[in-house]
Structure 1
């Protein structure tokens, strides 16, 4: 109440002054505007959002997604960047799959096929343009995804971390429970374990599970990084499947929760009521509820503390000169702690921002006695100034700012001295009703039967109720099988308007967009505790350049350097780029004085192969070619690691069990590309080299086996050219493997997935660990009719096998097979009126996915068939119109038997 009385008194005293105390033509304001314009011209902000069909997956699934790339404060679709990188990363920060998608006016869509053999665990999907790397990894799209596996996984774990104090020291322990899919405990099983940080073993040991399947492990309590980013890798024996390894992320911290306090505007001034926000982070990295009091140096209570949401809250009190304050807090487990509050200053300014209804902000500024000089207030969003003013006196002022001056998103209000020094700062989240995109999705019926046809109608309008042209993506899931926590769900509003502008971790960002009054109030507390770090005012105002290391990538550039064998640059050398597949594409260029060359504005498909050929100015081939590479950004130090689930298997239990039923239904019907897993087979001599083989006969049980060491020093571009004449009974016609017994095409299996010759030839020979040839009925028969002409089982390297890389490919020529543009697959939706096989149970969880919905005249419609199960079906549509207005809508309907 003291805070409100102070503000009311301040506004009453100076409300009139605020109207007349600004001069928008001031030099400081002009300088800030000019410097910000320069910064945004050279550092335009790009953001990426991916809309997924589901929030989590299991091995064998397909991940479908639509990408939206926007730029600037008005969120316009990005017209400049032409290539989007999308990566699937595991919890060990290893990139498992990566795609390059061609952007068309900021839009693209793609998919990941997850093999049946994929290990369960925490994964991330990261998306970025090359230009976005200039801002750092904190500002690229990076979403945690849980992936389960109930097909090949026979061991499920649940882990609980606890922190206790023994003899005055913190002791951190992990209790891991092992059980099978039915919940039966693995008791009396031997377990070996390693505690790891950044793939380095910190501690290791052995143990035996107790009668309830539990294993107790003590962790080093003095290693804070380990307790936040480490993992426990265990191997449990006696399960019937050999030793089963599990990787468990460590999410805990020793000691009490971390509590930080933030004064509104950045300062507390003695004698002025202060608005103090706080954030309490628990031992798992997530917010926790705390309560307590604030006391002065005499022990007198001056304020009460209580969290309002996810460990955050705010309270008001007035600090007095010469006094000190501390927060006395109680935690959920009953423990208590005290933390000193930041010290208040005797001089300076206080900056207050108060919402006046849904359409206005009232900003009040007051200066402590003895603080001299006028001040300037600037409000900006995404580097563009939308409000600026200067006081005519150095004491106080107040002003009303209409929210519709700003676009929706984070606005930053900064108080400057008249010399241009930043004094105070306050972030405010603006929800501007004028840039709201009104999406309406309606179904032609209120309820349906399984496998019945559904028609959805989409109506897109702006705030003025005018139809808009937009691009949207639609996902329909069976919510009965895919339960969703909407507070943690991937959300276009939360990502593009909130998370993408803030550097630190935000827990449950989608919660703040559920439309409730509580969520709106909690969002303002988040603004008080979260920092905006897109730029530093000091660098902007001092015109300190921040050169961009990465250019906007519209297309591919193939570049490198030509040198003599001794390393001297080859000037005026001729370099040719040749399409190896058909030889029709052949372009050439010459090297500069430093031996450098580049082929620019090139677009090529993912499977395309090139040969780079170079000669010196005298047409001699005695040269060395070194190609340029742009490595992906580091995948370590993931800021949202607190979103990783310690118990991935249990996190997706309902969905995973349905996926298991669907898997066996498809096996019975001969549908889907699935691997039939056999028990582990012991192979002598070749055991290490073939341990990842998916040969259904067992690794090494083949008519012929070639290992990576047999393929050393082959300079061919296509894998088929390397193998021509080396495989018994196999010929290659235009890269396609055929049997010498009748010339029929052979089945190609790569890492357990049925594939084709085109994908086989896209493999780099140096990435192949083994090739197994199955030609006889005894070896190929297990693959059924598909293997009638024989099978090539190809296994790629995983990083833990012996490798034999060639030292060089010869002078004057190098094969070059870069990652090209991925051709997205089309989502299959059955049509039951076309006599689709109705014998197989339709257990689809993603019932429908369409990433390319366009609304000419503001309207569109889509049609599809329900799956075969009753339940609540959930429709999510997201997208953006031609003016940069963002929209999202959710519709549910019933499917009844």
Structure 2
């Protein structure tokens, strides 16, 4: 195929990425697929169609997390901002991001969930002050990501520093370095020149400098082994049939080792890819025996699972060569796969395309006001040169506690999120675009396992089973009726749910019940836990049970990433530990002071006071002028027709006429507000509650300041819960507790208007001076100013700025203030 045709196909792929979410996307691809001369045969069209269907329906997502600092001590809070991409754009299809915080024994300490907006979210995790482990594993994902290879889930080990003695680590034989060989394209073939890459690592997966030679079975020198970059390199070998080769090498401690090279295949193909500025040159060589089995080859390039080119060539005239232009491709991993004439995969090679399309031009930081003195005020101006809306996360930490500059948002979303296996110091590969860095990055491509496709299944038309549906909507109040036949659900069936959260006013939701028994209010997104009471508004559904939040993701197992060996950088650990210990001592002292200030006075409480303590909260609690009724222990309550019949004559000044849903209430010239479990309700709903399901009533005389409509007082009705009753399904007001998103806290930033410190004041020894995960940059201004105050001990800061535009371009800037 002429080079211009490859360029046309690459341009078409780029257009498909841009049009993916538009209505004409599929039609555009179909026109490309059927274009005259685009592919050699209908079979090729069928294969390309299967690849595109797979890419369209199973778009992978990848995540990166920015933390406020690189290490933590027990009792500290881990603040984070998560970024999520699908291909090269923010992952907007998934709405919920999950994190499992796993200790070094494999136990999940907490499973948190956060709402994603434009592919971003933030939150925090409080590391227990009793934690004794030396690391904490962070496993993060969307429900969609769980359907695919777990190797592509986000995983990171955070160092935890403490004064506890170190646990027994790897010693002796376990600490021996390992040398692994990787033939380019997959196999080393006899009679053909092969590039065989290698990587030497220690027990923690970090690179080891080695030197040595490769010899044949007779001990004859073949090639030398040398460290080209971070323990990686390659040899060139033209093996003989049935030959065996061995590497003899030394590590940096001059210890001798021997490692056999992979077995040599007598027949096959060799795929070579050369890194050339602006393009990738490839060559496919076929051994004589393999050439007899196929007269042509298909060479397919894919990026983010989309086919970017397909070349069909005869191999009878000798090696098949070609050049792939890169200027129209996005950033990321380009996979080149060679098939025989029957579309059986023979060889595969990955190469990295870095044409800077991922970057927003470098952000800049200017110090407008220096405040390195203790409790001094600092002002920073962050400028983005591109006119695009962006969201930034900014962390300012004490420079002396150390940091980790080996990875960032570039390396996390552009490289390691697409690879299996550990990449040492991945940020290095994005420090510049020099040819030397590109050559070193190609060594990573040669030595890291990678497979998105199972070609045999894909060509057979087998698609992955989806066990975890995508979270395409946010967590909200939802549920499902069980124990009923769908035919019993009428079009008018509905359920009333009364929802109450701590320190918030309750609200009432009325939701229709669908034919499959489900109900949902998409607008009722909530955080933390909530208590819900409900009543089904259809007598034909009596006896049914309600299951709340049936589609909420069940926590998967912890996986195996927490088992990976881990060696943390201890730079700054002693200083960090000293400040953390002092901060914990101050917190403990303040807790002790609070306990000292508490005066304990024992007093016998009446039954109605016990009920008030148990049921009421917030502004509903206390109020000595309120009329309190112990319905739970009132024997006459059982004979009342409804709650309003029971209340008649019990509250001075409250006039009640009628009964049931027709009841009318008047207190000082107006109707009092009715609350069920501190959630606003109406007469109709309150009258439907069985009096036997009520524990306590509190009537607040006008005016009631606890609600918006309290001018005429309020009637607070509390349904039985806990040990007081076990409601039967379908009877009265059944109750349940549901859990929404993990509550998101705000990072505390003190404001010091004077540098004077009172003698008895606590010392400010924060190691994270400033953290803000949601700095929005207005594209009209392209800059934003942040302000923060120093603590009492820090003399220099590390500032890390990361972010993403709404188009998916990434932002990173790191600078020290000294």
Q: Same fold (TM over 0.5)?
A: yes
Tell which deviates more after alignment, 727-736 or 34-43.
727-736
Query: Aligned with 2:442: secondary structure?
Result: helix
Residue 649 of structure 2 corresponds to none
Question: Quick one: structure 1 residues 806 and 312, their matched pair in 2 at CA, closer, same or farther if it must change by over 3 Å?
Answer: farther
Residue 583 of structure 2 corresponds to 662
**Separation in 1 of the partners of 2:440 and 2:724?**
59
Residue 322 of structure 2 corresponds to 399
Question: Quick one: structure 1 residues 819 and 362, their matched pair in 2 at CA, closer, same or farther if it must change by over 3 Å?
Answer: same
**Separation in 1 of the partners of 2:764 and 2:49?**
61
- Equivalent of 1:43, from 58, 62, 65? 58
Tell which deviates more after alignment, 386-395 or 370-379.
386-395
**Separation in 2 of the partners of 1:610 and 1:602?**
16
Specify every segment of 5 or more residues in structure 2 that has no aligned partner in the other structure, as ranges. 10-36, 627-677, 679-721
Task: Please say if residues 296 and 323 of structure 1, whose CA atoms lie closer than 8 Å, have aligned partners that are also in contact.
Answer: yes
2:357 equivalent to 1:437? no
Residue 138 of structure 2 corresponds to 125
**Separation in 1 of the partners of 2:404 and 2:506?**
53
Task: Please say if residues 479 and 547 of structure 2, whose CA atoms lie closer than 8 Å, have aligned partners that are also in contact.
Answer: no
Residue 454 of structure 1 corresponds to 378
Query: Aligned with 2:191: secondary structure?
Result: coil
Residue 430 of structure 2 corresponds to 513
Residue 494 of structure 1 corresponds to 411
- Equivalent of 2:81, from 66, 71, 77? 66
Question: Quick one: structure 1 residues 279 and 635, their matched pair in 2 at CA, closer, same or farther if it must change by over 3 Å?
Answer: farther
Q: CA deviation at 1:639?
A: 3.0
Question: Quick one: structure 1 residues 517 and 858, their matched pair in 2 at CA, closer, same or farther if it must change by over 3 Å?
Answer: farther
Residue 542 of structure 2 corresponds to 620
2:733 equivalent to 1:816? no
Q: CA deviation at 1:308?
A: 4.0
Residue 183 of structure 2 corresponds to 263
2:264 equivalent to 1:344? yes
Structure 2 counterparts to residues 122-161 of structure 1, below 5 A = 122-149=135-162, 155-157=164-166, 159-161=168-170
2:814 equivalent to 1:890? yes
Q: CA deviation at 1:432?
A: 1.0
Structure 2 counterparts to residues 405-804 of structure 1, below 5 A = 405-444=328-367, 448-450=371-373, 451-461=375-385, 466-480=386-400, 482-487=401-406, 489=407, 491-515=408-432, 520-553=438-471, 554-556=473-475, 558-563=478-483, 571-572=488-489, 576-581=495-500, 584-590=507-513, 592=515, 596-599=517-520, 601=522, 603-606=524-527, 607-613=529-535, 618-621=540-543, 628=550, 630-639=552-561, 641-642=563-564, 644-645=566-567, 652-664=573-585, 670=590, 730=613, 733-734=616-617
- Equivalent of 1:112, from 125, 134, 153? 125
Q: TM-score, normalised by structure 1?
A: 0.66
Residue 101 of structure 1 corresponds to 114
- Equivalent of 1:320, from 236, 240, 256? 240
Q: CA deviation at 1:382?
A: 0.7
> Which structure has the larger Rg over C-alpha atoms?
2
2:306 equivalent to 1:389? no
- Equivalent of 1:78, from 65, 68, 91? 91
**Separation in 2 of the partners of 1:335 and 1:807?**
74
**Separation in 2 of the partners of 1:126 and 1:676?**
36
Query: Aligned with 2:402: secondary structure?
Result: coil
Residue 212 of structure 2 corresponds to 292
Question: Quick one: structure 1 residues 624 and 403, their matched pair in 2 at CA, closer, same or farther if it must change by over 3 Å?
Answer: closer
Residue 171 of structure 1 corresponds to none
- Equivalent of 1:162, from 171, 177, 180? 171
Q: CA deviation at 1:471?
A: 1.8
Question: Quick one: structure 1 residues 591 and 316, their matched pair in 2 at CA, closer, same or farther if it must change by over 3 Å?
Answer: same
Q: CA deviation at 1:505?
A: 3.6
Q: CA deviation at 1:312?
A: 3.3
Task: Please say if residues 724 and 731 of structure 1, whose CA atoms lie closer than 8 Å, have aligned partners that are also in contact.
Answer: no
Q: CA deviation at 1:530?
A: 1.5
Q: CA deviation at 1:892?
A: 1.5
Query: Aligned with 2:576: secondary structure?
Result: helix
Task: Please say if residues 511 and 519 of structure 2, whose CA atoms lie closer than 8 Å, have aligned partners that are also in contact.
Answer: no
Q: CA deviation at 1:393?
A: 4.2
Task: Please say if residues 483 and 544 of structure 2, whose CA atoms lie closer than 8 Å, have aligned partners that are also in contact.
Answer: no
Question: Quick one: structure 1 residues 411 and 434, their matched pair in 2 at CA, closer, same or farther if it must change by over 3 Å?
Answer: same
**Separation in 2 of the partners of 1:572 and 1:608?**
27
Cα RMSD, aligned residues only: 4.1
Q: CA deviation at 1:408?
A: 1.5
Question: Quick one: structure 1 residues 624 and 728, their matched pair in 2 at CA, closer, same or farther if it must change by over 3 Å?
Answer: closer
Task: Please say if residues 104 and 133 of structure 2, whose CA atoms lie closer than 8 Å, have aligned partners that are also in contact.
Answer: no
Query: Aligned with 1:618: secondary structure?
Result: helix
Q: CA deviation at 1:737?
A: 9.9
**Separation in 2 of the partners of 1:879 and 1:613?**
46
Task: Please say if residues 100 and 822 of structure 1, whose CA atoms lie closer than 8 Å, have aligned partners that are also in contact.
Answer: yes
Task: Please say if residues 562 and 570 of structure 1, whose CA atoms lie closer than 8 Å, have aligned partners that are also in contact.
Answer: no
Q: CA deviation at 1:736?
A: 7.4
Query: Aligned with 2:530: secondary structure?
Result: coil
Question: Quick one: structure 1 residues 649 and 816, their matched pair in 2 at CA, closer, same or farther if it must change by over 3 Å?
Answer: farther
Task: Please say if residues 562 and 626 of structure 1, whose CA atoms lie closer than 8 Å, have aligned partners that are also in contact.
Answer: no
Q: Any idea what the Cα deviations from partners look like across 1:772-807, whole Å, max 9, x if unmatched?
A: xxxxxxxxxxxxxxxxxxxxxxxxxxxxxxxx9999
Q: TM-score, normalised by structure 2?
A: 0.72
**Separation in 1 of the partners of 2:546 and 2:554?**
25
- Equivalent of 1:25, from 16, 21, 39? 39
Query: Aligned with 1:856: secondary structure?
Result: coil
How many residues of Structure 1 are paired with residues of Structure 2 in the alignment? Answer: 670
